[in-house]
Amino acid sequence: MLLQRIAVVGCGLIGGSLALGLKKRGFSGEIIGCDRAEVLEKARARGAIDRATTELAEAVGEADLVYLATPVVTILDLLPEVAKAAKPGALVTDAGSTKVRICKLASEVLPENVAFLGGHPMAGREVGGIENADADLFAGAKYVLIEEAHHRDAPFDSAPTASGLRSESPLGSASLREGAEKEFVEWIKKLGAEPLRMEAETHDWAVALVSQVPQLVSTALASAVWDETDEDGLPLSLAGAGFRDMARLAGSPYDVWRDICLTNSENIARGLERLEQRLERMRTRLRSRELEEEFEKARQTYAMLKRGGKE
């Protein structure tokens, strides 16, 4: 067992759920939570963490695995500090919703003897916070893992640092990294998630389409209906199950999405533009039979989702 001590940086919905999930599935090491004091108190009360600190360096310094689960821009802010504090041989991973910027920065700032594995659990809820954390949040979800060319190709073994990695470990550092990564992936599987490897660019385009554009569309729909709703409550008071589904994402917190929009703006803009064009085309054909093709493709997507994953 290489991962004996895990620092969870950001103990909200994702970090909290990871910690609770590890505990539930028998992780016997120590989980150190790092967040604001009031969040840490709740995380401890829920039994998610064993130790709590508001100091990043303290949380990270002894950890075999550093799990960064804050909004994306905070991850970008924290990475240089993590780079300084992480111990040789540590594995750093994250749960940020966009990957290109994070993986690029990680490859720039982390020392050779600290490994990085970008990650994105495709699980979430429209409500955040440790209050809503759930040991089974990741069950049935895809868990994207990004391999960085930097770490994959670097002559890792041949570049031990002054910190004495070699003397600390009987393994070579490359195999140490491999072992730690393998163990982490095993934990992901135990949480019920399905690891899926891809490049950061592929990820960022894919999630723009299936996660980020849908989020902004839900926001736009709900916001538009809000603007139209008068004192009588119409049209909102007529909303049925369909609109409720479409507006569920509209409850998502802006701070998370601000970071996502900032760090994946090109992909999102491209996706939104294509959607606008499609809506315009449909709008000009409302009275024709040409919408049938759109409905047919949509039904195939619906059917694939039904067959595919969890409901």
Kindly identify the residues of this chain, within the stretch 141-170, that bind a second copy according to CB under 8 A.
Answer: 141-142, 144
Contacts to a second copy from residues 26-65, by CB under 8 A: none
Helix or strand holding residue 9 (H, E)? strand 5-9
Structure tokens, 141: 């979800």
- Most distant pair of Cα atoms in the chain: their distance: 75
DSSP character string of 181-211? HHHHHHHHHHTT-EEEEE-HHHHHHHHIIII
> For residues 156 and 179, is the Cβ–Cβ distance under 8 A?
no
Which range in 30-38, 63-71, 182-190, 287-295 contacts a second copy by CB under 8 A?
Answer: 287-295
* DSSP of 55-71: -HHHHHHT-SEEEE-S-
- 286 counts as binding a second copy under rule CB under 8 A: yes
Residues numbered 232-261 forming contacts with a second copy, rule: CB under 8 A: 234-254, 257-258, 261
For residue 307, state whether it binds a second copy (rule: CB under 8 A). Answer: no
Within 90-129, the residues that bind a second copy by CB under 8 A are 122-126
**207 lies in the binding site for a second copy (CB under 8 A):** yes
Is 139 an interacting residue with respect to a second copy (CB under 8 A)? Answer: no
- DSSP assignment of 269-309, as one string? HHHHHHHHHHHHHHHTTTTSSTHHHHHHHHHHHHHHHHHHS
Site string for a second copy, 172-201 (x = CB under 8 A): ------------------------x-x---
What is the nearest approach in angstroms of a second copy to the Cβ of residue 233? Answer: 8
206 touching a second copy, by CB under 8 A: yes
Q: Is 77 in the site for a second copy (CB under 8 A)?
A: no
